[in-house]
């Protein structure tokens, strides 16, 4: 277990730290989408970053909208979109760590030793690379290179794929923890019976 994972374990052991990370995550989520609302009010379309079905054709079609006030609104959104993925990544990493730490079975404990919760931070990386790609597209003017557009869409697909995997992993960890708790309760309830039978 490396030092960053140990730090996440420490955070997950303090209820106030978990609550703080949870609150910061949802506060930053609200700020991000309020900034997107400002952009959408000017263009009648969401930002590139939040269109999950975005294609190269849509990028070229919508690119002329990123001028004047709309461009300024997008830059405010894009700036904060470097903050939100990090806050969200820390929140989900702490959540994975908490669900593994509370589970007394060997597998979750081994996953902690292997630093598996840190894999969540790859979503942050994909999001940042997507942001950089879209900002580079805006900086090239009306005719960005197809390679740059494809790179932005590639990082978007990576981000969305890992977000889906994250949801599946969290569901699996919750299920494992529930089964672990049930197992501990049943074992505790059966202990007096075993002692009595031995007598």
pLDDT in tens, 64-104: 999 999 999 999 999 999 999 999 999 999 999 999 999 99
User: For 45, which DSSP code?
Assistant: S
pLDDT at res. 193: 53
Would you report the helix, strand and coil content of the chain in percent, each value rounded to 5? 85, 0, 15
Segment 43-56 shows an average pLDDT of 96
191: pLDDT strictly greater than 90 = no
| Token pair for 114 | 């292997």
Segment 148-167 shows an average pLDDT of 97
pLDDT at res. 143: 85
130: pLDDT strictly greater than 80 = yes
155: pLDDT strictly greater than 80 = yes
pLDDT at res. 196: 46
pLDDT in tens, 10-39: 999 999 999 999 999 999 999 999 999 999
| Token pair for 85 | 């993925």
What is the secondary structure of 72-124 as a DSSP string?
HHHHHHHHHTTTHHHHHHHHHHHHHHHHHHT--SHHHHHHHHTTGGGGGHHHH
122: pLDDT strictly greater than 80 = yes
199: pLDDT strictly greater than 50 = no
pLDDT at res. 195: 47
- Backbone dihedral region of 44: left (phi > 0), alpha (psi from -120 to 50 degrees) or beta? left
- Non-local CB neighbours of 175 within 8 Å, separated by 6+ positions: none
């Amino acid at each position: 277990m490396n030092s960053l994972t140990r730090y996440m374990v420490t955070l997950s052991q303090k209820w106030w730290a978990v609550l703080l990370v949870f609150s910061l995550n949802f506060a930053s989520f609200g700020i991000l989408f309020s900034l997107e609302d400002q952009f959408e009010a000017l263009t009648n379309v969401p930002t590139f970053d939040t269109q999950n079905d975005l294609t190269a054709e849509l990028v070229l079609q919508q690119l002329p909208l990123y001028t004047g006030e709309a461009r300024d609104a997008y830059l405010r959104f894009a700036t904060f979109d470097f903050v939100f993925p990090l806050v969200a990544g820390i929140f989900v990493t702490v959540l994975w760590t908490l669900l593994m730490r509370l589970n007394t079975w060997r597998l979750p404990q081994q996953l902690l030793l292997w630093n598996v919760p840190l894999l969540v931070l790859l979503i942050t990386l994909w999001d940042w690379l997507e942001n950089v790609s879209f900002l580079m597209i805006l900086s090239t003017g009306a005719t960005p290179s197809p390679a740059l557009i494809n790179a932005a869409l590639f990082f978007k697909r990576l981000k969305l794929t890992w977000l889906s995997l994250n949801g599946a992993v969290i569901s699996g960890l919750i299920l494992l923890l529930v089964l672990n708790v049930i197992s501990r309760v049943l074992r505790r309830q059966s202990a007096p019976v075993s002692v009595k039978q031995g007598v």
